[in-house]
Structure 1
Amino acid sequence: MGCFSKDIFSIIKNSSSKHTLNELVKICRLKYNIGVADVKKTMRELVERGDIEYINVLGNTFPVVSFSKAARLSVKIIVCPPDISPDKDNPDDIIIRLEKTTSFGRGDHPTTRLSLAGCEKFFSWREKKGGYALDMGCGTGILAMASVFMGIEKAYGVDIDPVAVFDAEKNILLNNLEEKVFVSNTWPEQIYFDLIFANLRPPTLFKFRKKFESILYESGGVVISGYKKEEEKSVLDEFSKSFGYVKSWSEKKWCSALFYGKEY
């Protein structure tokens, strides 16, 4: 594998948006001083090894992380395509199968990994199982499903994108969670929640902060992500108005935090 493979793969994996090959060439030249020929050669090697693949979205072709292998997203969570049966490294591992979609990939964006880590932190501090979870902007449904596998009784995902709802419903069926995880583009009937996920950009996080306060049980937790390091202080200050701050963590330029209801 070429000496530039890690750099190029990192750009594709950690970018907040998809890039065409020409855009990727420009980024590599500016960021790593990698020439066009080296970028294209490395891309061929990454495809041949099965690390990346090309997808077509509305007539544009984008290189993305391949979804042909299982991938560990957190301490406990492993995701894989439907036809893969990965081995568990330990008995506590949780395997979540996801359909391949052009809209959300395999859920391995840094903010998703951070949110999954937040789910694990929530259950490490709160021994009580059961209760209800809400995932605002649910995408593939991975956070809602993970929360149920870790101990939540029922989870509700909300997304205004009909494609997200459709994809999440397929993933729920694939993981046999249709009686425990529900997704919709409207607010769920459940009134109060024990755990809320909000992997959203700051303006939307701020918009929902008071709503989250009104629907969270006092013994519940809120996992937020989707904001960058330079935005962290303003986000934490905003959510500290409604919740008790517990801990923050980060990956690359992205951040996440766990808050508890005021009872704590």
Structure 2
Amino acid sequence: MTPTWRCSQSSTNSPRRTRFQQWSATHCSTSNSVIQFSSSLGLAAEHVPTQYAVRTFLNLSAIWRNMMKKRIPRNSSLRTKLELRTEITANGCHEYTGSHDAKGYGSLSHKCKHYRAHRAAYLVYKGVIPRGDHVLHKCDNPPCINPDHLFLGTNADNMRDMKNKNRQCKGSDKHNSFLTEKQVVAIREEYAQGNITHQELADTYGFSDRGAISSIVTGKKYPHLGGTITKNDRPLVTPTLVRHIRERAKSTSASAISREIGLCISAVCRIINRETWRHVG
């Protein structure tokens, strides 16, 4: 079995490591053969490192050299940390070039405290951020830390800004989406053709109740998608209709009244039992 080369096998200032560093500085490419690599170190055949070990070290060497070029002096201020890692773009954004989180916002640490770069920039250039407030972007560019592009707002302001700029996830882009865009359009078209109820569609598409189907066919949910939108055809309950239902209930069953006026039986029963519309005589 070919032994794996490890950095710990030699001391920090050993001749072998020195030759290794010199070689990697000029041949930092994973395409170089292991034989060339080992011969440059003067290693015997039985001590040839694995290809994985060579590539790992070369990649780490390149990363380390790039990090050293951008190294920030110790005890630097928060302003210095931001300014040394900022690039100005053509559209006026000051993009933070340091670490970024999954959403694209810059992130950094200062005095054992973690900051998002745009919030740190607001603190440095504009002042205190009130508790509970968000720092919003006028430019909608997450890595931007230009103080002229930043403003304060509540969570409601943030959600409103997102909606106004049409940046929210829609349809199948949502992590908890149950239907695809094609299925939503199909549900609307099936219902518009008639001869099928909300409950039947709910059973077909795996919903526990018909409320979600009702919201889809009436356009309350997925308003950005196509398909035939069906207006809510349930009758408007008025005091006159309530009196009619209660009068009919003296000689007719609730299910018959429900079919007659097109109102669900549960609503009819609540009216008859005066659970709703109690004020109507």
If you compute each CA radius of gyration, which structure gives the higher value, 1 or 2? 2
Structure number with the higher helix fraction is 2
TM value normalised by structure 1: 0.24
Structure number with the higher strand fraction is 1
TM value normalised by structure 2: 0.23
